[in-house]
Amino acid sequence: MEEFPDPYDGYIPTEYFPDEYYEEEVEVPRDSKIDEAKEELGVFFDENPTGVYYLKQLQVLHERLFFHWILWKAVNELVSDGFLSDHYEPLGKGVRLRFCIGEAIGTSGFRLDRR
């Protein structure tokens, strides 16, 4: 009867993980939908320059065109580019709201009234 090594002794037989297993990482191409979402958000905020929106609200408003993670990435890039500002507001224990603010207002002109 063949004996198998103890799995807890740190020994991993090389036949389980041949050299072909360790391939070089493949670079994933950039999703063109992110650029389309950035353009759509640019038009949206140009038409609504004083609007303040929740991130989730933007995702729902554009859900017929883009998946939520595509819009999330587009918003992050627009914030990095300086086209949008964002503001986080604590909502509860471990929960924060993310507001997306057009460049017409910016964070300096943004004031959240607590009620």
What tens digit of pLDDT does each residue of 40-75 get? 999 999 998 888 899 999 999 999 999 999 999 999
pLDDT of residue 77: 94
- pLDDT band, residue 93 (cuts 50/70/90): confident
Residue with tokens 């627009």: 78
pLDDT of 51: 85
pLDDT at residue 115, rounded to an integer: 45
Q: How many CB atoms lie within 10 A of CB 93?
A: 5
**16-32 average pLDDT score:** 73
Average pLDDT of the chain?
A: 80
End-to-end Cα spacing for the chain: 74
Q: Which domains does the chain have, with CATH numbers?
A: 31-109 (1.10.10.10)
Instruction: Give the pLDDT of residue 25.
Output: 74
Q: Is the pLDDT of residue 90 over 70?
A: yes
- Please give the C-alpha separations between residue 78 and each of 6, 41, 54, 75, 90, in angstroms, as whole numbers: 52, 9, 15, 5, 22
At 65, which helix (H) or strand (E)? none
